[in-house]
Amino acid sequence: MLIGPARAQTAGQDTTIHERKENQQDRIANGVASGQLTAGETANLERKEANLNSETRTDRQANNGQLTAPEKAQINRQQNRLSQNIYNDKAQRRRAALTATTRWTPGASSSRIASRKESVPAR
């Protein structure tokens, strides 16, 4: 049985690490496509992901292609942190868009009520 290039590349990897890496890459791509991530944010996230991939590769090479339990735990923590960075960067853009369209200011409703009272003639 022949193994395709993508499958051969992941054959020795822990599937959870690989699946999360693919999922996070998809989330970054979706953020770019939807306009929720700027070019700078994307470059920053991609750099962090590349550093994590490099560290994982180095750890595997040091242990005959395997990751030790502490290395897996560390990679998991780093993937969690990267996931949170992706969420925060995308959410920041959503919050900025919401703030720009809402333009709500504290006390605005009470001033509108006061102006309505002034415009209504007394009986």
Identify the three-state secondary structure at position 85: helix
Residue 53, in any domain of the structure? no
DSSP secondary structure string, 27-59? HHHHHHHHT-S-HHHHHHHHHHHHHHHHHHHHH
Number of domains comprising the chain: 1
- The whole-number pLDDT of residue 19 equals 94
Check residue 26 and give its pLDDT: 96
**46 within a domain of the structure (yes/no):** no
Q: Assess if residue 65 is contained within a domain.
A: no
In a domain, 23, yes or no: no
Average per-residue pLDDT in the chain?
Answer: 81
- Quote the pLDDT of residue 121: 59
Backbone angles phi, psi at 35, to 5 degrees: 85, 10
Residue 75 lies in a domain: yes
Q: Which pLDDT does position 93 carry in this prediction?
A: 78
**Residue 79 is assigned to a structural domain of this protein:** yes
pLDDT of residue 5: 43
pLDDT for the residue numbered 36: 92
- Report pLDDT for 29: 95
Residue 48, C-beta contacts closer than 8 angstroms, at least 6 positions apart: 82, 85
Low-confidence ranges of the chain (pLDDT < 50): 1-11
- Which pLDDT does position 123 carry in this prediction? 59
Residue 55 lies in a domain: no
Query: Using one digit for the tens of pLDDT, what is the confidence trace for 40-53?
Result: 999 999 999 999 99
Is residue 84 domain-resident? yes
Q: How confident is the model at residue 7, as a pLDDT?
A: 41
- Residues spanned by the domain of 97: 70-102
| Local structure of residue 107 (DSSP, 8 states) | T
